[in-house]
Amino acid sequence: MEDWYETQIRVRYAETDKMGIVHHSNYLVWFELGRSEFCRARGFSYKEMEEKDNALLVVAEVYCRYKSPAYYEDVLTLRTKIAEIRSRSIRFIYEIYRPSDQTLLAEGETQHLVTDENKKVRTLPPSYKEKLLTEVADPNAFPENEAPH
């Protein structure tokens, strides 16, 4: 569970306040984006989990520590990884930083309970646990035994 999954974000005007600073509520939206992309990179979507396997990830806790502001047009990197998977819960952690000056802007975590469509807590289907714990291959790496000569 050491691998971070990175997603790029460009700050939109609508995400800023009158001072041109990103409003604090957007960080939670970005955390959701990070979780969704993390799952997609491992071969499934939230929608698939919900519709195919009746497993919903309900947010039970959210934490965000703001360290430095982000501004309109900033290009940011959102880093997401799994901190813990239990039989009926998952904890994700996040970092948002600005690569142009290597500034850490925020860090946080979310705790999710796995429920069915009736909001009854249930066990995470094993196939998703396996996918969540799978390392994502570097898309820029050469396939094994196919490196250039």
Catalytic residues: 17
Residue pair 68/27 in contact (Cβ under 8 Å)? The answer is: no
The helix (run of H) or strand (run of E) holding residue 52 is helix 46-53
The helix (run of H) or strand (run of E) holding residue 90 is strand 89-98
Exposure on the CB side of residue 50, measured as CA atoms within 13 A = 11
Nearest to 74 by CA among 18, 20, 29, 6: 20
Rounded to the nearest 5°, which phi and psi values hold at 99? -60, -30
Query: Dihedral, CA atoms, 120, 122, 128, 133, nearest 10 degrees?
Result: 120
